[in-house]
Structure 1
Amino acid sequence: MTGDEALPPGTQQIAAGAALRQRRRLSASDQAPWLHQEVASRMLDRLSVIRLQPTAVLQSRPALGGGDEGLRERYPQSTQLWLEPDAEVRALLEKRLRRGFMQSMVDKLRGSAPTELITEPPAGAAQLAWSNMELHAEADKPALVKTWHAGLAVEGCLMFSCLGPDSFIELRPIFAREGWGPPAPDWVDMHDLGDLLVHAGFADPVMDQEHLKLTWGSPQDLLRDLRALGGNLAPARLRGLRTKAWRERLLRALESLRGPDGRLSLSIELVYGHAFKPQPKLKVAATTEVSLDQMRAMVRGAGKH
């Protein structure tokens, strides 16, 4: 694709192979990355504005998100649909479910809903779709959003979070000065993500953002925590094996992030969004036939606005 061609909403250049390796590495841990867990807690707080009691919740790539426990507490009678298309990660999740077999028996006795591991969502199966800190690292964002749309019932709600353009912005001049290429892709902003939702068929998208400032005492600690979040997914990133000398050079360069308080700092921009799956629109022709059931559904939908 050339720079002169129009890109679909939310399109971004992501190294798909690197994204796959990153997801597999992060999913191998029994816990989601530290930042993902914090964002999941903030997303759960936002669910209070969504007046839904879903019978099924679609969790997109739950190994990354860290919101499973909170979703179960909020919706104990809701079936949790774990959506994971990658066979390698799915095998890890299957082992996790088997380890929790006795707990699942206890949940059944208490009347709690089960967990189902799926490769693609059944059409209209869920009333709530949940994706935490996944979308920014997805190479084919339009396809992922369409999958969420397909899995939602009409009037179901999508809630998601991801990184925004100001994330790790302080690293860019450092990497440019050292000739290391970009430290991260150009993350998609919330307006383009809203357009992506509309393009996929969602209605009434609501987007907002939050900025965090994270600090560390040493560049070693900073690098450790960044690795725990993933890796560099920019296609134009510096290639090749890293040497000990390169690492030492990076550690020295990161000292420029140290502020008056003596700590190194990086910015994080979090983007939150939610949207609803509307009633399907009827195609207008010279003569349009509408069933009584369709008319009733349209009237009910109009009465809710």
Structure 2
Amino acid sequence: MSELVTDSPPTLDPIASARWAQWPHAQSPWLNEEVGRRMADRLQWIRLEPQRWVDWAPLSGGLQTHRTVQARYPKALCDVVESTAALAARAKKELQAPWWQRLARSDVVSMDQPESGAAEMVWANMALHTAADPQALLRQWHDMLAVDGFLMFSCLGPDTLRELHAAYYKAGWPPASHAFTDMHDWGDMLVQAGFAEPVMDMERITLTYDSPASLIAECRVLGRNLHRGRFANLRGRTWRAQLEQILSTLAQPSQDGRLVVTVEVIYGHALKPLPRAKMSSESTVTLQAMRSLLNQSKRG
């Protein structure tokens, strides 16, 4: 039985989370694109053909992934949501059709904030695990959806970087990342946010690197350490040398001496149901309504 999950992940620094959400990625991280491709494959099992959908933070979630989903629903309008005006402007430049195509037909990409209940799908690739208040974010996605609309999301799971966590712990260092939420807890949180029929799945992806330097460079592209207790100060060459020494312990003979890091990816799908009618212990019926019901009964 999963423990009750609080709105804010206890080890995640909300200030660092906000900074990362505004990070101007030079390009979408390749791992996010790969996860997005795998999540897009799962759309073949969805019967509903959305006429309008939301792509949440595609600059980090994957520009190529956006195009893949757009190709699956070519006539559907997409509302693109980014965290800042600067990121939204860049996403517009990357994703909007050229002007000569927009003359021939209406553009299927909108940068406007989606109206409540307007979308039939919310697509959120590799975003939820860095949210400072994931429960609020789930409620926001729920509000965007029409009844019977669905959410598709992916995020990192608790086994991510398990080798790196063990190496850091052995060296007496702070954790390598904040603690990622278990998929069963995500399922509970979806229900708490108003979703129905959550379907959760996970897989582990093994990444290998030929050197500590290549692993460090990769980590800088894929994310940041958002743990509250991470190293707080700037580090110098001595720290870098210690880090490379720690990372060298991740080498495995079964992988020809390459450094091995595990990534756990969680996939989630859930529907927005009809709102439940509020029940009370007492009901009030007007005299006029009673007369109307009696008259209908007599005519019947």
Q: TM-score, normalised to structure 1's length?
A: 0.85
Matches of residues 63-142 of structure 1 in structure 2 within 5 Å?
A: 63-66=59-62, 67-84=65-82, 86-87=83-84, 90-98=85-93, 103-107=98-102, 109=104, 111=105, 113-119=107-113, 121-142=114-135
Larger-Rg structure: 2
Offset, 1:92: 3.0
Q: Extract unaligned runs of 5+ from structure 2.
A: 286-300
Offset, 1:237: 0.9
Q: Contact 1:9–1:199 (CA<8 Å) still a contact in 2?
A: no
Offset, 1:117: 1.6
Q: Contact 1:65–1:134 (CA<8 Å) still a contact in 2?
A: yes
Q: Contact 2:59–2:91 (CA<8 Å) still a contact in 1?
A: no
Which position in structure 2 is the counterpart of 1:144? 137
| SS class of match (1:258) | coil
Distance 1:182 1:173, change over 3 A: same
Q: Deviation string for 1:39-93 (max 9, x for gaps)?
A: 0100110011111211111111121111211111011111111122x33xx3233
Distance 1:113 1:288, change over 3 A: farther
Distance 2:191 2:247 in 1: 40
Distance 1:46 1:265, change over 3 A: same
Distance 1:83 1:284, change over 3 A: same
Distance 1:20 1:171, change over 3 A: same
Q: Contact 1:59–1:81 (CA<8 Å) still a contact in 2?
A: yes
Distance 1:104 1:55, change over 3 A: farther
CA RMSD, Structure 1 to Structure 2 (Å)? 2.1
Distance 1:10 1:236, change over 3 A: closer
Q: Deviation string for 1:226-263 (max 9, x for gaps)?
A: 11101101111121001011001110111110011211
Which position in structure 2 is the counterpart of 1:213? 206
Paired residue type of 1:236: G
| SS class of match (2:269) | strand
Offset, 1:101: 5.9
Distance 1:169 1:125, change over 3 A: same
Distance 1:107 1:288 in 2: 56
Which position in structure 2 is the counterpart of 1:189? 182
Which of 250, 265, 287 is residue 257 of structure 1 equivalent to?
250
Which position in structure 2 is the counterpart of 1:267? 262
| SS class of match (1:222) | helix
Number of aligned residues: 278
Q: Extract unaligned runs of 5+ from structure 1.
A: 290-305
Offset, 1:161: 0.2
Q: Deviation string for 1:278-299 (max 9, x for gaps)?
A: 001111233388xxxxxxxxxx
Which position in structure 2 is the counterpart of 1:293? none
Q: TM-score, normalised to structure 2's length?
A: 0.87
Offset, 1:35: 0.3
| SS class of match (2:264) | strand
Distance 1:124 1:9 in 2: 23
Offset, 1:277: 0.1
Distance 2:231 2:32 in 1: 26
Q: Contact 1:80–1:113 (CA<8 Å) still a contact in 2?
A: no
Offset, 1:23: 2.7
